[in-house]
Structure formats: structure tokens, C-alpha cells
Amino acid sequence: MTGLTISRILHAGYVFACEGSRIAFDPVFENPFSRNCHAFPDVRFDLDAIRKQHFDAVFISHFHDDHCSLDSLDLLDRATPIYLYCQFEALFDMLRQLGFTHVHALELDRRIDIGPFGVTPREAMDVEVDSMFQVRAAGVNVLNVVDSWIDEATLAKLVAQGPWDMVLWPFQTMRELEVLAPSRHACAPPGLPEEWIAQLQALAPRTVVPSSCQFVQEPWSWYNRAFFPISYARFSQEVGAALPQALVMRLDPGVSVHLDAGGLQPAPPLPWVIPVGDQDVDYVYEGNAAPPPTADIARHFAPLTPEEQARVTDYCLHGLVETYGAIEAGSDYFDRPRIWRLSLFDHAGQACHYHYRLDGERAALVDAGAGPLGWTTEVPATKLHAALALGESLTSMYVRINDATFDAQTDRALQDADVVDDPLVRCLFGDTFGAYQAAQLRRLLARGPTDRR
């Protein structure tokens, strides 16, 4: 059968099949993945069946752990060619250490030919992080936008590459910063950004698939009401109204379609992606959704072992102070001395407070009464340990920033401060790369000799 078969794995993961060849994009075979991202709708994976799969190549759009997970790649034949867009050589080295023998760096606008496929990485707005993929096969032209935003110069180039048979479009605007400081952000409107509609109209695809962001957090998490403002229904409504000639089609995990010049037809599902429970689910957005206290959130996590607690304590007493002096300075807000309170909550919801005087590039422990608070950070102690030991990302740590009462002058100054200038965030993530994958690699290599096929 001529044409192209497209199957959804999960999140931004896809399998493209054509004329006996198969390639995968951003494959994640984990549920949950990235520590607390649970498939939505729910699925499980037949890992033994995945180990028997053959892909002619795997393409990875960028280094984020929800797109490049060594635990998932570990299931694949080590002779599988891996094509990765990343500006850090360290991640390529990790893939080689895991045993992959054909690891290649992708270059923007340079086409890779795999059997009947021509795959061309295209420039994303954040060129230091992301890429997009243009895929041509059997006369079909598909744009996989992945997680990217598109600037106007790139949009013009993409329009010139049309016509487009299908666009896989990232349909969510995740409120990553707003959930860090919910008391200091207004509720986001649930609609799609205006530029998305205009860009989709310019691309004028035959089919639009709401892609990426196919997950929710833990069942108890308040993020499930506050993190994702766009529902599948809203996406279909707005895109359908703006592109009446296009088919807006939801593609759930495991589901496959066959695309050719004549249109779109159902195809056999991926047998190793197994639906669990109701698949007809949608996102519900409730603004800032009355976030629970960090103490309540911390009670959902297991207690630290004595060794883990010792590592966290040592970091707060010594490591954090040393790291703060070594990282790049933050915003103008920290140009003057500030008292910062870091609060760690244990599994019983009890807080341990650390106070620091931040003065330029220096941080020093001080007593609680050293001065008026200028910044506050709260985090479950278990999550801080996970960041230190496992490379856990910021979006799953349940950090809460500046949810406190400040004096009037400080409060006015905080209105112009950037949440990501938080001292803990800067110390944990300001000068690190690939911590999540590095922790995965240590664990995978520590298991001893294995059959890496």
C-alpha cells in the first residue's frame, strides 16, 4: 500500500512506516515518564514486544528528558541509528556509553534519507534547544512541530515547503512558571495563542493533529487543574473554525492512520501500546485551582533515608552556598542584599527553614531574624533530593516561590522580578545539562553486563 502510516506512541513520540521501513520520533516507552508525567489517556507498554521492534532510525528533536530518555532507548537494538539535535556533546557521549554504535548530530535544513523517508530538521524559535522535523515519503509531506514555537522567518520558509498534508502541532501552552508562583500570577485564558491560529492558516495543512503534552501529573496533583489550559475540545473548536478545509484529528497513544494523496484512513494500532481504561478523556482547566500548601503536597512522598537526608542537609548548609557564588547573576532584583528563606518539608509536612543573605555573588547562612524577607522558596525535601541525585526537572518538583507576606517595598519590587531567578532554581539548573540522562546512565551501567542486542 502506497502512502505513509503514522502511529502515536506517547506525548511527542511517533512511528512512521512506509514501504517496509520504519522510523521513530522522540520515542518514550515509559508510563509515567519524566518522573511524574502520566499518560493521558492511560496506557501501558509491552516492553518485551518493544525489545523485538526494529526501527531503521530514531530521530530525537531535543535533549529534554520527555523526548530523550535513556530508559526508553535502552530497549532498542544498539545498531539502531540515532539522529539527535543537541548542541551538547555530552549527550552524544552518553548514547555511545549506553552502547549505540551509530549516533549522529542533526544539522538544520540538512536532509537525512532513510529508505523512502526524507527527514529534514527545521529551525525552532529556541534554536539552542529545539528542532522540528519535516518528513517526506510516498508523496506525503508532514511537519512535526514537536514542542516548538515558530518565528516569522522560519514560518515563511515552511510555507514555501508546502503544501502540507499533515501538521503535528503542540496544542498546549503549559503554565510552567505560573504554577511555581500561583499567588503572583493571574489565571491564563483557555484559548489558543493568536499567533498559532495565524501560523496554521499560513501553513494550510490538510490535517492537523494536536500533538505533544499528552500527560497529566500524579492523580492527587493540583497541577492537573492548573497546568494545561487547553482542552482537546477547545483545540478542535478553534482550529476547526480557523481552518474549515482541514481535518482536526486527535491521535491517542497506539492509534495509527494511513495518509496518502487520497486522504486519511484508519490503520492497525501499535500492538505494544496497550490502552488502559477510558480513552475518551480531556483536560479540565480551573485557573490557579486553589493550590494546596507545600506541607500537604510533601505528605504524598516517601520519607528520605538517613543517607538521603544527610545529602540534602549538606547541600543546604554547604553545597548551595558554594554553588550560588559560581553561577551567573540573576535579575536586577538581587542587585541589593536580600534575605532568602528556603523551606524544606518532610513526609510528615514538617518544615525545616534555612535563611541566607544574598549579596551580589555571595550567599551566607544567617539567623531567621537577620532582616526582612526578600524571597522565599518552598519544596518537599524528597524532591530536592531527587533533583540532586536523579536529575529531576523543575516541573515535577512542586517548588513554590514567594508564597509569603512581604513588606510593601519588597512586594512592589517583586512584581518585576523573574520567577526563574529563584536562588534554588538557579543553583540546581542554572549551570547543568543532562542531569536526568546522566542519572539514568549511571543506573543502567551499574546493573552489570546485559544483552544489548
In 3D space, the residue among 229, 222, 237, 234 whose CA is nearest the CA of residue 284 turns out to be: 229
Asked whether residue 373 is domain-assigned, the answer is yes
> pLDDT per residue over 246-299, tens digit each?
999 999 999 999 999 999 999 999 999 999 999 999 999 998 778 999 999 999
Count how many domains the chain has: 2
Asked whether residue 240 is domain-assigned, the answer is yes
- In the prediction, which pLDDT does 225 show? 93
Are 300 and 265 within one domain? no
DSSP H helices, 243-356, are 294-298, 306-314, 320-326
Are 260 and 325 within one domain? no
Q: Are 398 and 387 in contact (CB under 8 A)?
A: no
Check which CATH number belongs to the domain holding 79 and give it: 3.60.15.10
In 3D space, the residue among 226, 177, 179, 183 whose CA is nearest the CA of residue 404 turns out to be: 183
CA distance linking residue 181 with residue 421, whole number of Å: 12
Domain boundary among 275, 306, 322: 275
Are 337 and 365 within one domain? yes
Asked whether residue 163 is domain-assigned, the answer is yes
Q: Are 60 and 39 in contact (CB under 8 A)?
A: no
Are 115 and 251 within one domain? yes
> pLDDT per residue over 176-218, tens digit each?
889 999 998 888 788 899 999 999 999 999 999 999 999 999 9
Asked whether residue 286 is domain-assigned, the answer is no
- In the prediction, which pLDDT does 188 show? 78
Asked whether residue 431 is domain-assigned, the answer is yes
**Residue 85's domain spans which residues?**
4-275
- In the prediction, which pLDDT does 332 show? 86
Check which CATH number belongs to the domain holding 392 and give it: 3.30.1050
Asked whether residue 281 is domain-assigned, the answer is no
Are 303 and 264 within one domain? no
User: HSE (CB half, 13 Å, CA atoms) of 46?
Assistant: 12
Q: Give Cβ neighbours of residue 332 (< 8 Å, ≥ 6 apart).
A: none
Asked whether residue 283 is domain-assigned, the answer is no
Using DSSP bridges, classify how beta strands 103-105 and 43-45 pair: parallel, antiparallel or unpaired.
unpaired
Asked whether residue 288 is domain-assigned, the answer is no
- Residues in the chain predicted with pLDDT less than 50, given as ranges, are none
Q: What angle do CA 177, 322, 94 make, to 5 degrees?
A: 70
Are 354 and 235 within one domain? no
Are 161 and 302 within one domain? no
Are 170 and 68 within one domain? yes
Are 144 and 266 within one domain? yes
- In the prediction, which pLDDT does 288 show? 79
Are 433 and 299 within one domain? yes
- For 357-419, the DSSP string reads EEETTEEEEE-TTSS-EEEEEEEEHHHHHHHHHH---GGGS--EES-S---HHHHHHHTTS-G
- In the prediction, which pLDDT does 452 show? 52
How would you classify residue 361: left for phi > 0, otherwise alpha for psi between -120 and 50, otherwise beta? alpha
Domain boundary among 222, 244, 275: 275
Q: Edge to edge, what strands does the sheet with 131-137 contain?
A: 112-114, 117-123, 131-137, 140-144, 166-170, 207-211, 247-248
Are 185 and 264 within one domain? yes
In degrees rounded to 5, what are phi and psi of residue 325?
-75, -15
Domain boundary among 217, 240, 275: 275
Are 193 and 307 within one domain? no
